[in-house]
């Protein structure tokens, strides 16, 4: 058990949401699409009504066949069944088309929100959390989020079908209808009993997927270092261990979720047997016609099919809720760098003052316990120290990439926490220790901070770098 759960701890920004909170949050994303959702609901109801009419017409045809049917009447019945089938298909097509459009728009907005949230965090957030796990939440988790809505609409269609056909059954035979309805709590109880356990195992599955993504990204990014030190075998061994862990987690998840399906099948078989016996006796006594008995047998499928859907798609439903929980946790994570004001920055003289500043990294790792320094305008300062002493951290503090825990950092006499960060960062430049190029051309990378710059400006900027020798 320890091996299976090793390294699958939640992130420090993760939180537990109730199903009610998650569904309420999901509903908030669909609220702007209320008109389209209303059309989806309408076509859903019409599709269910058309689907109900089919079995009813067939039951009538069976009763007619037991008497003296005419060719015309049977053709009319057959045509009615065909018409209801085509009508149900049309309504279902319209529903799925609009549903797919709404879900696509919601996923688009959700990804924008979660990506905007990640961009608002300081560098300490990325120091603490592997980028692969963050990418997993932005991409795969947001996609799985859509599965919840699609599943709910499909099940809602089944439930409407049950409601419509129930009214007809009550008018036929109260005893058989109550017997049929009595099976529903059993099915619901079986499905809901697995809810908490299913959520737990699907959460572990998503964490191990994020762990694999993070490990693959790290391995690919560091492949040069791994090959330089001939550590390919160690990289593979680490991945193999994580992959086996994912296998064990997936196996547990499959065994847990697949247990519910046989139980639902057993309960369904018991219900069918009871209706066959009771319906057969009622048909023999003449209280129920053969066509209505057929309708009741069809109703067993309509009653149990939504429950069987819950059983077979329970893992998908829990995947969607688990993905939603992970996405919302990332969106709700509070950034550590928070400005107390947004004062405009029109220009900088360059006076920087550290006053008894304290900086800590993750946990209790103190980098700067009580640091004071004044850098005057146009002054060049060189810092010397061992690795991890905080040299790069000072530059990043000036760029406001990290939050300090105590003291003050003044820029031209102003508290850095009160400045408009977008305007402030336009006046500073930070050269990282390791160069990074975005995908695209060299021209695109030079133009990165000023997309509106023309080719002549890009050329001048390039010539300032080592006198342009590198361009050759």
DSSP state of 16: -
Element containing residue 415 per DSSP (H, E): strand 414-415
Place of tokens 């060299």: 442
Tally Cβ neighbours within 10 Å of residue 214: 20
DSSP characters over 320-368: HHHHHHHHHHHHHPPPS---S--B--------EEEEEEEEE-STT-EEE
The reported pTM is 0.65
Cα separation, 355 vs 368, in Å, equals: 12
pLDDT of residue 100: 85
- Residues 78, 69 contacting (CB under 8 angstroms): no
Tally Cβ neighbours within 10 Å of residue 91: 21
pLDDT (tens place) for every residue of the chain, 472 residues total? 444 444 445 555 666 778 788 888 888 888 898 888 888 888 888 887 887 777 778 877 877 777 776 777 778 878 888 888 898 899 889 988 888 888 888 888 988 898 888 888 887 787 777 776 777 778 778 877 776 777 777 777 777 767 777 777 787 778 777 877 777 777 777 766 776 677 677 777 777 877 787 777 777 777 766 766 677 787 788 888 888 888 888 888 777 767 766 777 777 777 778 877 887 888 788 777 887 777 777 777 666 666 666 555 565 676 777 788 888 888 888 888 888 888 898 888 889 999 999 988 766 778 888 999 999 998 988 888 887 778 888 988 998 988 898 999 999 999 999 999 888 988 888 777 777 777 778 888 888 878 888 888 888 888 877 656 666 5
pLDDT of residue 374: 93
pLDDT of residue 1: 45
pLDDT of residue 411: 93
CATH numbers and ranges of domains, the chain: 2-332 (1.20.1560.10), 337-436 (3.40.50.300), 441-472 (no CATH)
């Amino acid at each position: 058990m320890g091996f299976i759960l090793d390294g699958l701890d939640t992130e420090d920004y993760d939180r537990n949401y109730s199903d009610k909170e998650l569904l309420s949050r999901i509903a908030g994303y669909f609220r702007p699409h209320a008109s389209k959702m209303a059309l989806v609901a309408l076509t859903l109801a019409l599709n269910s009504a058309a689907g109900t009419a089919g079995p009813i017409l067939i039951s009538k045809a069976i009763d007619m066949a037991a008497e003296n049917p005419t060719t015309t009447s049977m053709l009319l019945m057959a045509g009615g069944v065909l018409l209801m089938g085509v009508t149900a298909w049309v309504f279902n097509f319209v529903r799925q088309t609009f549903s797919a459009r709404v879900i696509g728009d919601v996923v688009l907005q959700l990804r924008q929100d979660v990506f905007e949230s990640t961009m608002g965090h300081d560098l300490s957030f990325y120091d603490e959390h592997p980028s692969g796990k963050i990418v997993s939440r932005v991409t795969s988790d947001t996609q799985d989020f859509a599965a919840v809505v699609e599943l709910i609409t499909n099940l809602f269609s089944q439930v409407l079908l049950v409601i419509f056909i129930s009214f007809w059954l009550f008018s036929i035979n109260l005893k058989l209808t109550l017997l049929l309805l009595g099976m529903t709590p059993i099915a619901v109880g079986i499905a809901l009993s697995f809810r908490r356990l299913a959520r737990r195992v699907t959460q572990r599955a998503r964490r191990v997927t994020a762990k694999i993504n993070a490990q693959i990204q790290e391995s690919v990014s560091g492949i040069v270092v791994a090959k330089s030190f001939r550590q390919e075998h160690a990289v593979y061994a680490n991945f193999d261990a994580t992959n086996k862990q994912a296998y064990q987690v997936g196996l547990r998840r499959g065994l847990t979720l697949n247990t519910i399906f046989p139980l639902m099948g057993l309960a369904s078989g018991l219900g069918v047997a009871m209706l066959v016996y009771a319906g057969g006796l009622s048909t023999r006594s003449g209280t129920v016609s053969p066509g209505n008995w057929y309708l009741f047998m069809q109703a067993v499928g309509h009653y149990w099919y939504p429950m069987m859907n819950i059983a077979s798609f329970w893992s998908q439903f829990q995947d969607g809720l688990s993905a939603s929980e992970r996405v919302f946790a990332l969106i709700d994570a509070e950034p550590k760098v928070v400005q107390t004001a947004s004062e405009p920055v029109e220009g900088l003289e360059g006076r920087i003052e550290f006053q008894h500043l304290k900086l800590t990294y993750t946990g209790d790792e103190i980098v700067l316990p009580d640091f004071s320094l004044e850098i005057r305008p146009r002054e060049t300062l060189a810092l010397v120290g061992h690795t991890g002493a905080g040299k790069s951290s000072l530059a990043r503090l000036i760029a406001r990439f990290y939050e300090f825990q105590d003291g003050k950092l003044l820029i031209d006499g102003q508290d850095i926490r009160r400045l408009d960060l977008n305007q402030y960062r336009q006046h500073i430049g930070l050269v990282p220790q390791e160069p990074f190029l975005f995908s695209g051309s060299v021209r695109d990378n030079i133009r990165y901070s000023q997309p509106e710059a023309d080719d002549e400006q890009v050329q001048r900027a390039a010539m300032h770098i080592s006198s342009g020798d590198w361009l050759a």
